[in-house]
Amino acid sequence: MPTTCPPTPALAFPQQLSHDVNAADWRPRFLDYLYLVLTNATAFSPTDVMPLASWSKIAMGVQSLVSLLILGLVVARAVNVLA
C-alpha cells in the first residue's frame, strides 16, 4: 500500500519549526490562534506565525486591512469630535 505524505500545514508555528522548543505532541490550541489574530490585527503583519497556504495569506491580509480601516475610522471620528 503506498504511503501518502501528510498535508502541508496552513500556518507554521515556532514550536513546529524549532526542535529546541518543540514538544513531541504539541499542537496549536485556541490560545495560539487567538495570539495569532491579536498580533496580526495590531502589527498589521504576521509576527511569529507564518502563513504557508494561499488562503491563510489572504485571510491574514484581509484581517490586517479591516483592522487598519477600523483604526482609520476611529481616528477620523476622534478628529471630528475634537474639531
Number of Cβ atoms within 10 Å of the Cβ of 40: 20
pLDDT value of position 76: 96
Distance CA 27, CA 13 (A): 9
pLDDT tens digits, residue range 3-62? 565 577 888 888 887 777 777 778 889 999 999 998 888 887 778 888 988 999 999 999
pLDDT value of position 1: 54
pLDDT value of position 81: 94
